[in-house]
Chains A and B, each alone.
Chain A
Amino acid sequence: MLARATPVPMAARVRGLSDRAIAWLFITPTIALLLAINIFPLIWAVYLSFTNFRANRPNAEVASVGLRNYQRVLNDPDIWIAMQTTAHFVFWTILLQTLIGFALAYLIDRKFRGHAFWTTVILIPMMLSPAVVGNFWRFLYQPQIGLFNYIVSFFSGIPPSSFEMLGSVTLAPWAIIIVDTWMWTPYVMLICLAGLRSIPDYIYEAAEVDRASGWRQFWSITVPMALPFIMLAVLFRGIENFKMFDMVMLLTGGGPGSTTEVASITLKREAFESWLTGRSSAFAIILFVAVFGLANIYVKALNKVKQR
């Protein structure tokens, strides 16, 4: 039997190039692409944020305005209201999705008869396009013909056309929270389910031997061991919902008035409707720093939980 020869180094086959050079040759296009589509726009946006540039005024002179754009964004009460609205959405959607998602995962993990079928059914909403979901729920919420109002009416006795989920200042935010929760709870459920399935059976068996109650097992084993997964789901949904745009745009367009105008919609209006490119760049940078900063703090907390 012949011993297999040691492979000839690539550099020996490609004359004049070291292995390191070949490695660079392969990764350079990727790095160039990354720089072109990620890093350059970011740097360009930082530059624009210090100017008075407007994309619809190509002939106008672009002048540096120093920190004025940042100052205006941070002093604009409408932007702070949009930030509060965003925080409201993030808080409630995460809370509801985490609670319901974990509860569903816990139930599915019991492996009852037909659990695979129900898992698939529960996952359907998150597989749909946000555009489809937005339009679908718009019809459901229609006060005259929408099914949602009829269901509420059936249980509460309130006439269907006497309330408007999307047109009411008090109900519109909840209309969006309901849809987002409906759509993304399955995603949280999947992550939580992975967490629950990662808990070794022998831990529960040991607890049984120690005669720990079901409640005790849940609080002392299930929750702590699934916590990193739950926190991961919260991180993903938090980042996503901080940028929430499509669902709000499709359902309310930020209205009624500015009631559901989240930060991303304000940013879109500033950038592509009012064409305040410099100012909207400053706003985008502030949002980016806020999300990046909060996510970093959160990830540190997550790592601590994992190390426990």
Chain B
Amino acid sequence: MRKMTKALMGMSSALVLSTAIPELARADELTLCWAAWDPANALVELSKDFTAQTGTAMKFEFVPWPNFADRILNELNSGGKLCDLLIGDSQWIGGSAENDYYVKLNDFFDKEGIKMSDFAEAAVNAYATWPKGTPNYWALPAMGDANGWFYRKDWFAKPELQAEFKQKHGRDLGPPQTWDELKQVAEFFTGREIDGQKVYGAAIFTERASEGITMGATSALYPFGFKYEQTSGKYDMEGAVNSADAVAGLEAYKALYKCCQPPGYTDSYMGEGLDAFKSGQVSMAMNWFAFFPGLYKDEKVGGDKIGFFVNPKQKVAASTLGGQGISVVANTDNMDGALAYIKWFAQPDVQKKWWALGGYAVHNAVLNDPSFKDSQPFAADFLVAMNQVQDFWQEPSYAILLQAMQKRLHDYVVADKGTAQEALDALANDWKEIFEDEGKL
């Protein structure tokens, strides 16, 4: 009798599962590769649902950010089979598409009824398409992100500081709206003693090796009017990359670095910026929105003590794009299982849970929900940022383009070599030479 009951229960369970997810293929195990950071932990949590529904075990290969590109691009270049699914940087799409590292997903999306119009347009263009803006999809937008700012709300609210700032600048001490204001506020805090500790104005990106200083400095360059090309797709960089506006933006970034960065932060990126803020050294810091949920939960500096603001504008409103799409690695032995994961991940309910767990969903069902703006203290800023993002070159030669920019910016901002005009002129020449070699100029 007991055997009969077990058999019936097993059959009924199988029937329930098969009707609930009739169309999801399964694999024994899928490996998903991504960077090691807060959202990756949220994805592990989220993926438990996929495993429960399909029986597919999920394995994760998370690589620390400084080594992420090296490790994963080596993996792709060498035809390795480590990753079935990859959440790769937006800049990699061009090269990965041209070198057949990613599976083109158009037919799959059509077959499964996955519509890119269900996702935020900027995210689709940045994280999924190559050539950029065309309806050729190599990824599903997975993690929206932009560079934003957070500040010590409790310090800003101190009455004596409020009064002093008002007297000095004639306005309330609050989140800066422009880069000029940002510098004023940063200077105001630099060198002060708060809670028994000497503090500084702002922690900004200065990292040399991977992409740090480029991502940081473009947060100043874009609002001042920096552009990669005069005409989109023409590579006519002269007068765009090294325009007077771009020079002003780069000078503003260097001025902020010189006046208000804590000592020792000459090669700092995400982790160092978070450390500076969490240890109470700075009044403001730039970093990716991806870290904001974790910061808000931080017992020492989160909750009521932290506030968030979108990257300040200057001539225009602009933010540096982060974030990634999820792609199926062409070399996978688990193609059906990997596609099943994409299909599962694209569902509106899964996307809602993704946001709730700390991932930045860019599905319209999440973003357009009336309650979204109030769902987190940084949600409204995230929406603003995602509507004004600008991205680095997504060209197949992005790596060498990025290295050139890293060198020129670090030489000028941190090593005091030459002027901003000389740095950007040299950068324009570097890029021209690269595109000439590519046969695009």
Contact = CB atoms under 8 A, between A and B. Distances in A.
Q: Do A and B come from one complex?
A: yes
Interface of A: 55-59, 78, 142-144, 161-162, 164, 166-167, 169, 252-259, 269, 272-276
Contact of B400 (A59, A143, A169, A276): A276
Interface stretch (B248-256, B258-266, B304-312, B373-381): B258-266
Given A254-B208, A275-B399, A59 B98 contact: yes
B411 A257 contact: yes
A164 B264 contact: yes
Contacts of B99: 56-59
B98 A255 contact: no
Nearest to B66: A253
Nearest to A252: B267
B153 interface: no
Residue from B267, B411, B412, B416 whose CB has the most chain A CB atoms within 10 Å:
B267
B396 interface: yes
13 contacts: A56-B76, A56-B99, A56-B399, A166-B264, A167-B263, A253-B208, A253-B267, A256-B415, A257-B412, A257-B415, A272-B74, A273-B399, A273-B400
B415 A255 contact: yes
A56 B73 contact: yes
Given A167-B264, A167-B267, A273-B399, A255 B410 contact: yes
Nearest to A168: B266
B100 interface: yes
A258 B407 contact: yes
Given A254-B208, A257-B411, A275-B399, A56 B264 contact: no
B208 A255 contact: yes
Interface residues of B, number: 30
A259 B400 CA distance: 20
Contacts of B76: 56
A305 to B, nearest CB: 41
B51 interface: no
> Top 7 closest A-B pairs, CB basis?
A257-B415, A167-B266, A257-B411, A274-B400, A143-B263, A256-B414, A255-B208
B70 interface: yes
B262 A144 contact: yes
A105 B79 CA distance: 52
A273 B76 CA distance: 14
A275 B74 CA distance: 10
A164 B265 CA distance: 9
A164 B98 contact: no
Contacts of A144: 262-264
B390 to A, nearest CB: 23
Nearest to B411: A257
Given A56-B99, A57-B99, A269 B403 contact: yes
B276 to A, nearest CB: 10
Residue from B209, B264, B410, B416 whose CB has the most chain A CB atoms within 10 Å:
B264
Contacts of B348: none
B413 to A, nearest CB: 8
Given A55-B77, A59-B98, A169-B416, A256 B267 contact: yes
B400 A275 contact: yes
Interface string B381-408: 0000000000000001001100100010
B417 A257 contact: yes
B131 interface: no
Contacts of A164: 263-264, 266
Contacts of B280: none
Contacts of B98: 57, 59
Interface in B254-285: 262-267
A69 to B, nearest CB: 11
B95 interface: yes
A55 to B, nearest CB: 5
A78 B76 CA distance: 29
A264 to B, nearest CB: 14
Given A56-B76, A58-B99, A169-B415, 17 more contacts: A57-B396, A58-B77, A59-B100, A142-B264, A143-B264, A144-B263, A144-B264, A161-B263, A161-B264, A162-B263, A254-B209, A255-B266, A255-B410, A256-B266, A256-B410, A257-B407, A257-B417
